[in-house]
Structure 1
């Protein structure tokens, strides 16, 4: 049982934009499970190789993995220790060190929203990709993070130990992923034992003479959110758009793919879309499938209502030939133009509103990765290049090179690192790259997102996947969502430096290479990277 667990997760309505992309390289290190079994791979998505963690009782005293990061124009190293279980909580311990001769400004590097706003260390998240859950740092009754190093604004030359407390996973879970700004660790062991001291050993003597650091005390935790991850994917060049969580799936079928204008008769080329939709439904436990037709605002209300009902009946008839009606009974209805995805203000928006939506509330029973079918759509919105050679963008005084040498599979997911290099000699010239991501979400206009990586999409053929995301809270009629990736791309990068941005995505079926793409959205400058190997 998890103490102080908060779960949020109603599935939002999917909103489609053109497909886009992103990807990753990672170096391997190893760590052991507490039962003394053979070492399991722990692969940080960027950084240096660490020594295997011992299976002896003192395994918690050695880092499970290390990552090389860039902050404030300087390089630093993050050494992450095994997670220490303490009743209903686990404690993450991480040492930050640097070779810089002056203090390093961390700014908002590790900041991230937990429930009511940004929290220092809120960007350090634990991840269970099997259960599709993300663990956020625990907060005390005042809404402050529980643990050492609560003010992560700067790093002095002596280093800093950071601790955060999270809800504990179930007893059978022996490791969790750790997502940091600039890297993802696949499997950090969860061990029983003493919580490490709140200060670096080298600083303990100095700290003793001053005010002692406060140890991470799980008893102070008032809430420790564990939130379900949701995913949005688009298959067959956007004809089949799937928004799903562990509890619910919504499949939007594009009306223009299914039907001719003003017709309710399925076209012959609609069969692939129907097949893909049926496959997604069969991934889940039996339950009633709501089949709802929608139209745009062209025509009168009555005729649109009737057309939407007829189209829902046609799709239900095709699904009934593919699904067992005893397990997946179909209920049809038509909403006409009354529930648009987006305002009917353009031809493109009207096309999005013409759809048939399938919704099933049930748990996932089988994981089916996105089918990598069709041809890669044309792209002329910005520079292109292979993942290894990169794409170059001139933005203000900076010249940026974006590269993704490879992507990495973790279970049924993809971990992707985007390397951004400042190809100039400017130092202390401000923060960036601001052109990487804009204020955009596939969930629509009633969603608030940070300036993050949601606009970077991964493609394989005509199919696309977007980063996993999770709902933080409601603000009136607006929902606040965060991606399972970088929460802020406005990070200082000096000339000649390379910073890494990491995100985690649903995987593709049998894809050997992928494409990363950033399309137009507010504040972003598009580019495409192709031929990125998946390992």
Structure 2
């Protein structure tokens, strides 16, 4: 399958050579000198060092090179908790995630290939358990060091580096990939905790590699665009398009339909299906007829904006039969009143995100990324984002959250709401998926990947963000969130919008800095 975003790998680790003689004294190179390959990174030596906030303590993590072993790859982490750490860090949860569909332990620990726009999730055995050293209840105690190894599908031959998403700290963008022997699990020292079982690659039943995708919302929620490998689906809010119980387009509908047409115009020829949906107010028959009339009205206007010699328009009405959420209140019913426009074509191309327009009005604390804001959610937290990183064509926002009082130590689940931005998908309610990046009038959601589908058809998507945000906070913690390539930019804004289960805030004027050579070696 093809992806809509084509990126180039820009970050790599740099090796500096210090030469202790004058150039004039250097011997002439021998006949074979030019063909001698430079030694690769040592798989037993750290390639990057980062600090994670786990179980209320700052844990130092040395990230060793990823070792390719046949069709598998192994990530090795050396974790050290200081003596002053409080409780043990149970790694299955601290580095994991909680979803409606079962996630394996260490699910948040992922290898990220932004050049190919894919993510390698932890390999599992026939029981669905993670293939890793140790077991599901392994814990890191204060004053100890542990070496942890986790199995994945191998990156393609020739991949020189890959990103590592480690929950609890900044994203590590470029870790070398090498071929060779795995580093030994046993470490010297009296305070070393040995895993109870070695890594066994023979247990691997599945090593998933998932496509990364992008989701944006425009015009203050009136237009949402999902770009996937096979189709483009645009959701139009019916309350923007039509008055109550009407199929006549409002004056506000023009901008929404212009935006929808723009997302179709650069695609390959195909069929455009326009489907009307309603809430459950009124009878089934009335809602069916209203949905058909609204679909026809939208199709007629789209026909004036797109080349109908390239795109075949079809309409359907589905009344109240396919709600994206249960019709339990006015907010839910508003989400179900919609018109979807789906283009299916043989080739997916890239449509640039709309950047014109000012930031829409916002209710909630607002501050610059450097100044930050304070939110109150069972305690006060200061939230800042002094800068964002441009890594391999993607934007990485490092959100720094610091508890300000004793009551603010139970975690920051307010970064994710109850409902998923993809409509009827299941959200990971303890994740940081609710933080959207703003460019003008467009909200860009975290890059994500499909993790599973329930028996009744509900999808579970995992963002490239922390999947578990309820860990104890005794000090500042960094939450990295990875966003898709949205073209050249110097600064961005981010926000969490007001919704059930979240605390709204907005940070503006966050400068975007390219990652320089060598910068990927250490993150704090």
Other-structure match for 1:222: 205
Q: Distance in 2 between matches of 1:92 and 1:413?
A: 23
Other-structure match for 2:60: 77
Say yes or no: does 1:388 pair with 2:370: yes
The 5 A counterparts of 1:11-410 are 30-31=12-13, 56-100=39-83, 105-107=88-90, 108-112=93-97, 117-150=102-135, 151-155=137-141, 157-171=143-157, 173-181=159-167, 182-200=169-187, 202-203=188-189, 214-261=197-244, 263-267=246-250, 269-282=252-265, 284-297=267-280, 301-302=284-285, 304-325=287-308, 327-344=310-327, 346-362=329-345, 365-380=348-363, 382-396=364-378, 398-410=379-391
Secondary structure of the residue that 1:140 maps to in structure 2?
coil
Q: Distance in 2 between matches of 1:414 and 1:395?
A: 27
What are the Cα deviations for residues 378-421 of structure 1, in whole angstroms up to 9, with x where unaligned? 223x333221111123444x432111112223355321221111
- 8 A Cα contact 1:137 1:224, kept in partner: yes
Say yes or no: does 1:465 pair with 2:444: yes
Q: Distance in 2 between matches of 1:358 and 1:234?
A: 14
Q: Distance in 1 between matches of 2:444 and 2:61?
A: 29
Q: Distance in 2 between matches of 1:516 and 1:439?
A: 19
- 8 A Cα contact 2:415 2:433, kept in partner: no
What are the Cα deviations for residues 467-494 of structure 1, in whole angstroms up to 9, with x where unaligned? 2333333444454443221111112222
Q: Evaluate the alpha carbon distance shift between residue 138 and residue 64 of structure 1 in structure 2; reply closer, same or farther with a 3 A threshold.
A: same
Say yes or no: does 1:431 pair with 2:417: no
> Aligned-residue CA RMSD in angstroms?
3.6
Secondary structure of the residue that 2:371 maps to in structure 1?
coil
- 8 A Cα contact 2:112 2:119, kept in partner: yes
Other-structure match for 2:510: 532
Could you tell me which of 491, 494, 497 is aligned with 1:513? 491
Displacement, 1:342?
3.7
The alignment covers a number of residue pairs equal to: 480
Q: Distance in 2 between matches of 1:195 and 1:363?
A: 43
Secondary structure of the residue that 1:121 maps to in structure 2?
coil
- Select the structure of larger CA radius of gyration: 2
Q: Distance in 1 between matches of 2:40 and 2:109?
A: 26
- 8 A Cα contact 1:371 1:463, kept in partner: yes
Q: Distance in 2 between matches of 1:362 and 1:329?
A: 11
- Structure 2 residues not aligned, in runs of 5+: 4-9, 16-36, 514-524
TM-score (norm 1): 0.78
Other-structure match for 1:490: 470
Q: Distance in 1 between matches of 2:207 and 2:100?
A: 10
Secondary structure of the residue that 2:104 maps to in structure 1?
strand
Other-structure match for 2:401: 420
Other-structure match for 1:19: none
- Structure 1 residues not aligned, in runs of 5+: 1-6, 10-27, 34-53
Say which is worse superposed, 363-372 or 67-76, in terms of deviation.
Answer: 363-372
Secondary structure of the residue that 2:270 maps to in structure 1?
coil
- 8 A Cα contact 1:401 1:421, kept in partner: yes
